[in-house]
Structure 1
Amino acid sequence: MSIRDWPTLERPREKLLDRGAAALTDAELLAIFLRTGVAGQSAVDLARHLLNDFGGLRQLLEADLAEFSRRLGLGPAKFSQLQAVLEMARRHLAARLHRDSALESPQAVRDYLKAQLRHERHEVFACLFLDAKHRALAFEVLFHGTIDSANVYPRQVVKRALAHNAAALIITHNHPSGVPEPSQADRQLTLRLKEALALIDVRLLDHFIVGEGEPLSLAEYGWL
Structure 2
Amino acid sequence: MMPINQWPSAERPRERLLAQGAAALSDAELLAIFLRTGVSGCSAVELARQLLQQFGGLSALLAANKQEFCAIRGLGEAKFVQLQATMELARRHLASALQRESCMNSPQAVRDYLRSHLQGLEEERFLLLLLDSQHRVISLEALARGTIDAAAVYPREVVKVALSANAAAVILAHNHPSGIAEPSQADRHITGRIQQALALVDIPVLDHLVVGSGESCSFAERGWL
User: Which band: TM-score by shorter chain?
Assistant: over 0.9
Aligned equivalents of 1:141, 1:212: Cα separation in 2 = 20
Q: Which runs of 4+ in 1 moved over 6 A?
A: none
Aligned equivalents of 1:36, 1:27: Cα separation in 2 = 13
Q: Give 1:129's aligned amino acid.
A: L
Task: Please say if 1:38 is aligned against 2:39.
Answer: yes
Aligned 1:164-183 pairs, distance under 5 A: 164-183=165-184
In structure 1, the partner of 2:80 is 79
Aligned 1:101-116 pairs, distance under 5 A: 101-116=102-117
Q: Give 1:167's aligned amino acid.
A: A
Q: Give 1:154's aligned amino acid.
A: P
Q: CA deviation at 1:145?
A: 1.4
Which ranges of structure 2 fall in alignment gaps of 5 or more residues?
none
Q: Give 2:33's aligned amino acid.
A: I
Q: CA deviation at 1:45?
A: 2.1
Aligned equivalents of 1:9, 1:113: Cα separation in 2 = 35
In structure 2, the partner of 1:121 is 122
In structure 2, the partner of 1:141 is 142
Taking only aligned residues, the RMSD between alpha carbons, in angstroms, comes to 1.6
Question: 213-222 or 112-121, which moves further after superposition?
Answer: 213-222
- Deviation digits for residues 8-31 of structure 1, max 9, x if unmatched? 121111110001111112221111
In structure 1, the partner of 2:99 is 98
Aligned equivalents of 1:28, 1:219: Cα separation in 2 = 35
Work out the number of aligned pairs and report it: 224
Q: CA deviation at 1:185?
A: 2.3
Summarize the Cα distance change of 1:149–1:105 in structure 2 as closer, same or farther, 3 Å threshold: farther
- Deviation digits for residues 43-93 of structure 1, max 9, x if unmatched? 222222222222222221111111111111100000000011111111111
Task: Judge conservation of contact 2:119–2:214 (CA < 8 Å) in 1.
Answer: no
Task: Judge conservation of contact 1:134–1:168 (CA < 8 Å) in 2.
Answer: yes
Question: Which SS does the other structure have where 1:133 is aligned?
Answer: coil
Question: 213-222 or 102-111, which moves further after superposition?
Answer: 213-222
In structure 2, the partner of 1:197 is 198
For normalisation by structure 2, the TM-score amounts to: 0.94
Q: CA deviation at 1:188?
A: 2.1
Summarize the Cα distance change of 1:124–1:149 in structure 2 as closer, same or farther, 3 Å threshold: farther
- Deviation digits for residues 177-216 of structure 1, max 9, x if unmatched? 1222222222222222112112222111111111133321
Question: Which SS does the other structure have where 1:220 is aligned?
Answer: helix
Task: Please say if 1:6 is aligned against 2:7.
Answer: yes
Question: Which SS does the other structure have where 1:176 is aligned?
Answer: coil
Which ranges of structure 1 fall in alignment gaps of 5 or more residues?
none
Task: Please say if 1:50 is aligned against 2:51.
Answer: yes
Q: CA deviation at 1:147?
A: 8.8
Aligned equivalents of 2:48, 2:191: Cα separation in 1 = 43
Task: Judge conservation of contact 1:123–1:150 (CA < 8 Å) in 2.
Answer: no
Task: Judge conservation of contact 1:167–1:203 (CA < 8 Å) in 2.
Answer: yes
Aligned equivalents of 1:10, 1:193: Cα separation in 2 = 52
Aligned equivalents of 1:117, 1:13: Cα separation in 2 = 29
Q: Give 1:32's aligned amino acid.
A: I
Percent of aligned pairs sharing the same letter: 62
Question: Which SS does the other structure have where 1:137 is aligned?
Answer: strand
Summarize the Cα distance change of 1:158–1:47 in structure 2 as closer, same or farther, 3 Å threshold: same
